[in-house]
Amino acid sequence: MTHTNSNGPSLNGPGSTDGCPFHQSSGPALTNQTRAPETDVHRDDSGVYRVQGFLAAREVLRAEGVRQAGFMAETVRDTGLIQNQPVLFAEGEEHHAMRRDTARYFTPTQVAEYQPMIARQADDLMAELARAGELNLDDLSLKLAVQVAARVVGLTSSRAPGLERRVMAFVEGGGDSEPGKAQEKSRIQGLKQQANLSLFFLLDVKPAIQARRKQRRDDLISHLLDRGYNDVDILTECLTYGTAGMVTTREFISVAAWHLLQDPQMRADYVHGTEKERHAILHEILRLEPVVSTLYRRAETDLTVGEHQIPEGSLLALNVQTANLDGGVMGESPEMLCPGRTLPRGVQAQGLAFGDGHHRCPGAFLAIKESDVFLRRLLIWNDLRIVSPPSVKVNEVVKGYEVRGLRVSLGR
């Protein structure tokens, strides 16, 4: 997937259609806007079960007889170096207990506690843009996402600046994270990744651990120390939260801004709307543009998904991008950006963009909240405009898009 045309394919024609309470956007379509095929589950030539229908994908995500297989989960498990599996990889009662223990960091009440910090960060970034006059929006969104996630995790005692670069080094290291497709790394690439890991640990994670051994704080690292996690366990958890909380939020802020900057009416609806209305717009953008387009699960038992029999041990690849365009669930014109569309009971506005089931993204509310705080401050500038459109490519590590070079100006 590559897109460099700021006038990208239209999601719909002008105006609104029946059933859409908001103006419909005609902004850029980064995702492959094709309907789900007639077959919602099929087995490809490599033996992977490709799940493309919404209901089938949700059924797999909610099933008890599957385990996490994405985000290099199986590679990490096979090393045997981790005593305590990170929450992203753990299963069963261990996973449920971890989710209960850490849920307090992501509740609406706790997110409200973070909001003044998020607002200060957003104001600082707006001041930076005002001083420069012209900057890459994706650089600003990265700074915000890293600072917010660092506060939640506890990565606030770094010995040197550049936390965002050290986190991105892992995600931009290349390779395909689909189980069975991981690319062989050269010796130089392997050494570089080891060096990146060492820098992240020595400059960011270790100082945070040392500070919290002396005095606990209200963050994830303090919680992990209370649970008896060792340094390697905490490092692994920081990496998983780093990619989940920093990288994905960065990309979503960029793509949401791109949509809204190219549609004056939708932008006005967003800027002048209530929080509920703004969140509806963001959720609909996320439905169309899920940051992580493919989720993986491994069948631990024989499964029945719809009318399909899937043997134990099979790999299932869930296409979130296609599932979210399932007209049987999303209604009329599912490829259009229609905030506030009527959905069946139990179907969330963002579809499966945050996952579902016991591995659903715990920071979903925080991600939308921080995106909203930043975007409202950004888009309220009347003279804000796009200087140059971004390039978009696939990141095979997170199985999602990368928006780079979305340059904006305050129109001086």
- 325-372, pLDDT tens digit by residue? 999 999 988 988 999 999 999 999 999 999 998 888 888 999 999 999
Candidates 1.10.630.10, 3.40.140.10, 3.50.30.30, 1.10.287.610; correct CATH number of 75-291+361-409?
Answer: 1.10.630.10
User: Which pTM value belongs to this model?
Assistant: 0.88
Q: Which residues pair with 305 in a beta bridge?
A: 308
In tens digits, the chain (412 residues) has pLDDT values of 333 333 332 233 333 344 566 666 554 455 454 555 557 899 999 999 999 999 999 999 999 899 887 766 566 665 555 666 666 666 677 767 777 777 888 888 889 999 999 999 999 999 999 999 999 999 999 999 999 999 999 999 999 999 998 888 877 766 677 877 655 555 676 677 788 889 999 999 999 999 999 999 999 999 999 999 999 889 988 988 877 788 899 999 999 999 999 999 999 999 999 999 999 999 999 999 999 999 999 999 999 998 899 999 999 999 999 999 999 999 988 988 999 999 999 999 999 999 998 888 888 999 999 999 999 999 999 999 999 999 998 888 888 899 999 999 986 5
Q: Where are the domains of the chain?
A: 75-291+361-409
- What does the pLDDT look like over 90-125, one tens digit per residue? 667 776 777 777 788 888 888 999 999 999 999 999
